[in-house]
Structure 1
Amino acid sequence: MNHSTHVFPALPTQLTGQALISRAGLSVLTSFLNALDFRQLCEDRFSQFVPATATHRPGKILGALALSLAAGGEQAADIDQLRVAPGLFGRVASDAMVSRFMGRIKVQPEAFSYGFATMARSLRSKIWAAAGPRNPARLATPANPLIIDLDASLVHVNSDKENSAGTYKGGYGYSPMIAMADYGKTNGTGGVLAVQLRPGNRGANSAKSHIEVLNQALAQLPDDFYDEHGNLHGEKILVRTDSAGSSREFLHHLQSLGIQFSTSYLLPVF
C-alpha cells in the first residue's frame, strides 16, 4: 500500500476566469509545503505532541495554522476558514484538537523550540538551495555578507491580555524583538529568522534580548554558514541595528562570534 507524504491534497491549478473556490490562491502554499516534505519534517520533530493513533498529525496541524495566517487569520481558531473547502485542504483539525496540541507544547516548551529551530534550518536550507544562483548562503562573503537586522516592534492589543504591558508610547501590548534577513534589492526583500515574544514594557535596548534573538536566528541558518566542526562563519554575516543595539555587552558578543556589525550611537556635542 502506498501512503501519500503530502500535507494537503495535490491539485492542479489553472486560470479559468471563474470564481470557483474563494481560497484557491492558497493552493500555491499547499503545493509549496508538499514540495518541502513538510509533513515528514514535522513528524520527525513534533510527533511527541500528538497521540500515536491521532488522525491529524503535527504537519497537518501546523500547516493549517500557517495557511490560516496567510488567509488573514489572527488566532488559532481561524483555521475554520479552511474547513469551507475540504477539496482543497482536506480534513482540518478541530479547535479542540489544536488546543490540546498547544497544551502539550506548553508542557514541553524547550523540546518544541529545539524542534522548531532545527526544522526551520532544514526548510531554509532547502528553500535557499532551490534559489540556485540567488541562494543567500552561497552569495554571502566577508565583502558582501548576509545582513541580519535586529529591532523591537510594538504590537498593540485592546485589553489586558496575558503577558501584555504598558508601552513607552502610552499604549498596551507587546514588544517583540525580531531578527530579519535582508537579501538585498536584487534578490527579493528578505525574511524573518526569529522572533522573541516580550511584554510591552520591555526596553528596546536590552542586550539580553538582542543576544537571545540573534542566537535563535543563527541557529536557523543553513549549513553553508558553518564549517565541518559546526563553527560559525561569522565573517559572512553582518548584524545591523539602531542605537538600541549599541550596548557593550551585545557588541562584545558579536565580536566573540567574529560577526561584522553596523550600529549607531548618539554622541553629545560640546
Structure 2
Amino acid sequence: MNQSTLTYPAPRTELTGQQLISHAGLSILGGLLNALDFRALCEDRFSQFVPTTATHRPGKILADLTLMLAAGGEQACDVDLLRTNPGLFGPVASEATVSRFMHRIKDMPDAFTHGYQTMSRTLRTKLWAAAGPRNPAKRASKRTPLILDIDATLIQAHSDKQGATGTYKGGYGFAPLIVTADYGTGNGTGETLEILLRPGNKGANSAKDHIEALSQALAVLPDDFYDTDGVLVGEKLLVRTDSAGASREFLNHLDSLGIQFSTSYSLPVVKERQIQWISEKKYWEPAIDQHGKPLRDVWVVDATAVMKLKDYPPGTRIYVRQNPCIPGQRPPCSTRTGIGSPRS
C-alpha cells in the first residue's frame, strides 16, 4: 500500500512559457487537500469501503472525484480528465474501481454518512479557523448569529432518472432542499452545508424534511458551535426560510434547540382583513436594512397584538412590511409578512 500522506504530488512550478498543462489550475485545489491532510482523514473514516491491500485508497478516490467536478465533469467516468496528467494528479483509479467503491457505500449508507459528517466537521473547523478574523464561527453571537438559509429548488431531468417525478410547476425532475450558510455582506458568498435529495413531487412545506435537512447541516458545522459537552450553542445561529418553513412543527423544533428564526408568513384571508385595522400611520415605523440604514418609503409594524399566533413558540412575533408602489402599480401596494423568534 502506498504510504505517502499526500493526496497529490507537489510538482515544482516554473514559468518557462513552454509545455502548457491542461487543468493545471486544479493543482491549487490539490494543494489545499494536501494541506488539510485529506488523505489521512479519509483513510480513518472510509477505509472499510476498500480492500486492505487496495492500491487506490478512499482519500485519493474522493479527492479525484472532487477535482473532476471542479474541472467541469458530471459523472464518475469523467475522472479521465485527470488521468492524462499523472505528474500533476498521480495515479487515478479506473472507472471500475470507482464503481466498486460507490457500490460498497450503497451497501453501508449509515457508516458512510457518519464518516462524511465527522470528516466535514473536522475539515470545516480547520478551514474556518484559517480565515482568522473572517472566521464565520468566531463572529457568530446571539446578536450577530450565523444565518442558515433553507430553501427548496427544482432541478429538471431530461430523461427517466431514479426519483424523477412531475413537479408542481409542470416540469419533471427533482426538488432538493438546500441548506446554505450566509457569511454576511463583505465576507464572501457563503457555502452549502447540506442538500437533501427529494423527488420532484415532494412538497416544499414539509416540516419533516426541514428538520432532517437542518439536522444534517448542524452535524457538519465547526466545533465552535458546540460547547465542551458537545451540545449545540443554538443562540449563535439564525435559520431563515420562506413561508414553506413557517410550520409550527419546524419552528417549535428550532426553539427547542435554542436557534433563532426568521421566516416569511402566508396570511390567511381572515388575517388579511385584520391588517386593515392597523391603518393609522402612528403605529408604523420606518424600516431599516441589515446595516441600520433607513429604507425609503418602507414601513413596518409589529402586528402580534392584532393577529394572534396559536401553538407557535412562546414570544414569537409577527411583522408586516409595506413596500412602495412600483411604476404602474395602483394602491394598495405589496405587503409582506414575516414571523420571528423572541430571540431574533
Class of the TM-score when normalised by the shorter of the 2 chains? over 0.9
Q: Does 1:137 align with 2:137?
A: yes
Q: Give 2:121's aligned amino acid.
A: R
Counterpart in 2 of 1:153? 153
Displacement, 1:16? 5.1
Counterpart in 2 of 1:80? 80
What SS is found at the alignment partner of 1:231? coil
Displacement, 1:182? 0.4
Task: Give the Cα–Cα distance (whole angstroms) in 1 for the partners of residues 188 and 14 of structure 2.
Answer: 26
Change (3 A) 1:15 1:203: farther
* Paired residues for 1:5-24 under 5 Å: 5-13=5-13, 15=15, 20-24=20-24
Change (3 A) 1:262 1:88: same
Change (3 A) 1:146 1:12: farther
Determine what percentage of the aligned residue pairs are the same residue: 68
The two structures, once aligned, show a CA RMSD in angstroms of 1.3
Task: Give the Cα–Cα distance (whole angstroms) in 2 for the partners of residues 16 and 35 of structure 1.
Answer: 26
Displacement, 1:11? 2.1
Q: Does 1:226 align with 2:226?
A: yes
Counterpart in 1 of 2:179? 179
| Structure with the higher strand share, 1 or 2 | 2
| Structure with the higher helix share, 1 or 2 | 1
Task: Give the Cα–Cα distance (whole angstroms) in 2 for the partners of residues 14 and 203 of structure 1.
Answer: 54
Give me the TM-score of the superposition, normalised by structure 2.
0.76
Task: Give the Cα–Cα distance (whole angstroms) in 2 for the partners of residues 194 and 25 of structure 1.
Answer: 27
Q: Give 2:35's aligned amino acid.
A: A
Q: Give 1:241's aligned amino acid.
A: T
Task: Give the Cα–Cα distance (whole angstroms) in 2 for the partners of residues 143 and 12 of structure 1.
Answer: 47
Counterpart in 2 of 1:108? 108
Counterpart in 1 of 2:41? 41
Give structure 1 stretches of 5+ with no counterpart: none
What SS is found at the alignment partner of 1:195? strand
Counterpart in 2 of 1:256? 256
Counterpart in 2 of 1:94? 94
Q: Give 1:264's aligned amino acid.
A: S
Counterpart in 2 of 1:217? 217
Change (3 A) 1:16 1:181: farther
Give structure 2 stretches of 5+ with no counterpart: 274-344
Task: Give the Cα–Cα distance (whole angstroms) in 1 for the partners of residues 169 and 22 of structure 2.
Answer: 39
Displacement, 1:15? 4.9
1:125-160 deviation line (CA, Å, top 9, x unaligned): 000000011111111010000010001111111111
1:43-73 deviation line (CA, Å, top 9, x unaligned): 0000000000000000000000010000011
Give me the TM-score of the superposition, normalised by structure 1.
0.97
Structure with higher Rg: it is 2
Change (3 A) 1:247 1:14: farther
Task: Give the Cα–Cα distance (whole angstroms) in 1 for the partners of residues 162 and 203 of structure 2.
Answer: 18
Counterpart in 1 of 2:305? none
What SS is found at the alignment partner of 1:54? coil
1:176-220 deviation line (CA, Å, top 9, x unaligned): 111100001221110011111111111111111110010011111
Q: Does 1:70 align with 2:70?
A: yes
Counterpart in 2 of 1:238? 238
* Paired residues for 1:161-200 under 5 Å: 161-200=161-200
